[in-house]
Amino acid sequence: MERNTSLATLKVLRALLDNISPKHYGLELSERSGVTTGALYPILSRLEADGWVEGEWEDIDESLAGRRRRRYYRLTGLGEIRARQATMTLATSPTRKLNWNGQWWRRQAALATLTMQAEVERLGGVRRSGRVRSR
């Protein structure tokens, strides 16, 4: 079943797409995407149920490691294809209707900001006040 894609879900998908090969744990994804953990885990659960993401618990002895075990997530092949489609469809289709209170222009602006930030980071710069500065 095709679900409506929220801005928070797009942020999580973008964080996963930016670095596909490794597995990511929840707190790392929260920091990279800017989505709070309270919103992140239900998103990951839905993506996992839909087959876009697969998760697995790490195999450690918690008492020896001195921390709780982590659940690692990564995009599946289907998830990578669908994530790219979701981000590209929103970026290229002004008539796409999603369930975000009918405020299409806000969605587009938010998506453009995400795309621009990812591109600036990929090129090695930091975007501040309309200018790109190298690190």
> Rounded to whole angstroms, how far apart are CA atoms 27 and 41?
10
Reference 55, options 71, 35, 31; nearest CA is 71
Q: What is the DSSP letter of 29?
A: H
- pTM of the shown model: 0.64
Q: Where are the domains of the chain?
A: 7-103
Check if the beta carbon of residue 71 is closer than 8 Å to that of residue 41.
Answer: no
Looking at residue 122, its pLDDT comes to 67
Check if the beta carbon of residue 107 is closer than 8 Å to that of residue 7.
Answer: yes
Residue 13, class by beta-carbon neighbours within 10 Å (0-12 exposed, 13-18 middle, 19+ buried)?
A: buried
Please list the residues that pair with 24 across neighbouring strands.
73
Please list the pLDDT of the chain residue by residue as tens digits (135 residues): 355 678 889 889 988 988 877 889 999 999 998 899 999 999 999 999 999 999 999 998 889 999 999 999 999 999 888 888 887 766 555 544 444 455 655 666 677 777 777 666 666 665 444 554 554
Tell me the CA end-to-end span of the chain in Å, nearest whole number.
43
Assess if CATH 1.10.10.10 describes domain 7-103.
Answer: yes
Q: What angle do CA 122, 127, 129 make, to 5 degrees?
A: 165
> Rounded to whole angstroms, how far apart are CA atoms 75 and 52?
6
